[in-house]
A and B are shown apart, each in its own frame.
Chain A
Amino acid sequence: MFRHLFKYNLKIMLRSKEMIFWTLLFPIALATFFQLAFSGMMDATRFDPISVAVVEVGGADEMFAETIRALSAGDNRIFELMDVKDEAAAVELLQEGEIVGFFLVGEVIEVVVRHSGISATIMQNVVDSYYQTGSVVAGILEFNPGALNMELVAGIHTGESVFQDVGDSEDADFTLIMFYALIGMVCLFAAFFGLSVVTETEANLSKKAARMSVSGTHKMVGLVVGLISSFVVAYAEMLILLAFMVFVLGVSFGSQVGWILVLSAVGILAGIAMGMVIGAATKWSDNAKYALVSNMSVVSAFLAGMMLWQMRYVIEAHAPIVNRINPATLITDALYSLYFFDSMDRYFANLMNLILITGVFVLIAYVFVRRKRYDSV
């Protein structure tokens, strides 16, 4: 039975042109597009450090000045730090145009600038990021100062690419986040398969499923084999996409291949489970469900930074919970942390969340698929 169902599931999936387009060709095209769009940008623009000053007043948080100092060192520094002795001196420099702005560090940290603009935004973002990451900054700083820079810079919208040396002088760029988010999207696209499996095994969702339900074969057998086949196809497509990104586009993923493969496997499971929930728990038309799956996947990836890598930092600032539960963000962040950090903690934290979310999806789906008789078919 397994062989029979598996064989036909594969045939059906691989021959379904629309499905293959969305889950394989479209992501490859998108990745290629990203690469073309950013390859020029990466080399062309280098980042000019922003001249700033730090003014500490009563009750100042000394860690902050420390952080700015760290960000003002090295070849690819963000800031050019000017020494000032007090606020008046800083204001003077500001008026002379020597500095773009300064940080007024008291009970709270204020950013003082003459003009709003990109530089001002960067400064504000550094402050915001500092507040959010404050507690972990010290820890990271200790074993990987480069990472700290990355983290903080990541909160910045420059409209240009920023380079920082990471660990072993490898060039890092934030467009990687877009590729990672794309992988997140492709994982979620596995929801198309999950959706089609439930549709074809739940008798109230399609006549083909009704056929299976009245046959001599247990519906759950059909469902489980369907899910296995879906996973196999989706994972194979993922491997093709990863290979394409690495070998054709030259996207870097770091050296932790095994963990990348684990992550994408779990990501695909999350996608399949999401599709099952949409299929089993909602009562819309098939078309509406497919539209929902694709919209959810794309939006999820967008929030993770697929079109705009800064996106997830904007969300981190305004609705951090979204970043903890959005599957594409979890995938993106896990890949990103594999690449940028030596420690695996953050990777595992993301992976755990992803597994939890998958579990929740599976439970919800199970409540619906365990039915044996239906109110209507």
Chain B
Amino acid sequence: MANSVIEVKDLEKSYKELKALDKVSFEVKKGEILGLLGPNGSGKSTTIGCLLALLKFDGGEVKVFGEEMTPESYEAKRKIGVVFQDVAVYDELTVAENIDYFCGLYVKNRAERKKCVEDVIEFVGLGDFKKFRPKKLSGGLLRRLNIACGIAHRPELIFMDEPTVAVDPQSRNNILEGIKKLNKDGATVVYTSHYMEEVEEICTRIIVMDKGRVIAEGTADELKAGVSIGEKVTVEGEVSRRVVEELKKLKGVVNVEVEDRKVEVVYEKGVSGLSGLVAFLTKNDVKYERIFSELPSLNDVFLELTGKELRDE
């Protein structure tokens, strides 16, 4: 396809006995923010390693910018920016020097590079820390530096492998906003995470991975639409056993779960249960502190597809 930036077909990769990728296929189109969502060990980083021709793989095909990706694809590599999962910077160099060093692996012209470095420092908000050594930066700032080193050369295609792990909320927002901005300025982004909220917030399309396989694919809404359950209403308060039994019999309720003083009522798809439930509780004289309703999340999608939670925190 003409506007495909990445095409992956039947990618297979094993680490000794462990099958890390099992016939993974997907496509990334120009201008997308593609989310690779999956729990720890699902094969996200391995996928990225194969896409970048860094890892040997056992089978399948990887095309980037329409051509087979090999270690010698320098033309393509120059247009790619990579932010690895682990921070990789030189402790001996300052913030600005680190960025300049990595940017210099792509941009030869000094004046042009200077501009790139200044811009990216501004972009990730490290202006006050230019002369700092990485050891002096907080975790969040260090992550931002790591990102800056990967994108200073203004790549067309950006890989970001869990850039927000162990980051304070402020840096996290800064990073997420930054990614959106990069995308708006024309970059195609492949973003991996096991935080579904993030993926839901920024990604235009999501690929859900588990145990080295692609198990679902689509926009967040499409994915959620595929789930068989509907609204989930949570009641916090003293709910008697009898009431719980009654709840189970209500129309449209598929499941009721009790945990301490919390009752979760799950409705069928398409059924809106909140108002009916409030009325029922009032009628039965149940005192509750809080009641709230949630639509299915990507976690539910994952739960339904794999029978386990995506969350690991």
* Residues of A bordering B, CB below 8 Å: 1, 4-5, 8, 11-12, 15-16, 203, 206-208, 210-218, 372-377
Contact = CB atoms under 8 A, between A and B. Distances in A.
A128 to B, nearest CB: 51
Nearest to B15: A376
Contacts of B71: 213, 372-373
B92 A203 contact: no
Contact of B92 (A15, A211, A218): A15
Given A206-B88, A208-B88, A215 B54 contact: no
B82 A211 contact: yes
A214 B80 contact: yes
Contacts of B88: 206-208, 210-211
Contacts of A372: 53, 71-72
> 4 closest Cβ contacts across the A-B interface?
A207-B88, A216-B78, A372-B71, A215-B105
Contact of B54 (A5, A15, A216, A374): A374
Nearest to A372: B71
B211 interface: no
14 contacts: A1-B104, A1-B108, A8-B90, A8-B104, A15-B93, A203-B54, A206-B88, A207-B84, A210-B54, A211-B102, A215-B77, A216-B106, A373-B53, A377-B54
Contacts of A377: 49, 54-55
Given A214-B54, A374-B54, A377-B54, A12 B92 contact: yes
Interface range for B:
20 to 34
Given A8-B97, A216-B106, A374 B80 contact: no
B296 interface: no
B89 to A, nearest CB: 7
Nearest to B46: A376
A210 B84 contact: yes
Interface in B112-152: 149-150
Nearest to B49: A377
A8 B54 contact: no
A12 B90 contact: yes
B90 A208 contact: yes
Contacts of A4: 101, 104, 108
B150 A374 contact: no
Contacts of B86: 207
Contacts of B56: 373-375
Given A11-B92, A208-B89, 14 more contacts: A4-B108, A8-B93, A8-B104, A12-B93, A207-B86, A214-B52, A217-B105, A372-B72, A373-B53, A374-B55, A375-B15, A375-B56, A376-B55, A377-B49
A213 B84 CA distance: 12
A20 B282 CA distance: 76
B74 interface: yes
Contacts of A213: 52, 54, 71
A315 B150 CA distance: 53
Nearest to B48: A214
Contacts of A5: 104
B107 to A, nearest CB: 9
Interface string B38-59: 0000000000010011111000
**Which of A12, A214, A218 has the largest number of chain B CB atoms within 10 A?**
A214
A216 B74 CA distance: 5
B55 A373 contact: yes
B84 A216 contact: no
Given A373-B55, A375-B15, A215 B92 contact: no
Contacts of B102: 211, 215
Given A4-B104, A12-B92, A375-B55, A214 B15 contact: no
A220 to B, nearest CB: 11
A252 to B, nearest CB: 38
**Which of B15, B55, B150 has the largest number of chain A CB atoms within 10 A?**
B55
A132 B70 CA distance: 58
Contacts of A218: 74
A373 B97 contact: no
A203 B54 CA distance: 8
Contacts of B89: 208
Contacts of B77: 214-216
Contacts of A208: 88-90
Interface string B188-202: 000000000000000
A377 B108 CA distance: 27
A368 to B, nearest CB: 15
A372 B80 CA distance: 18
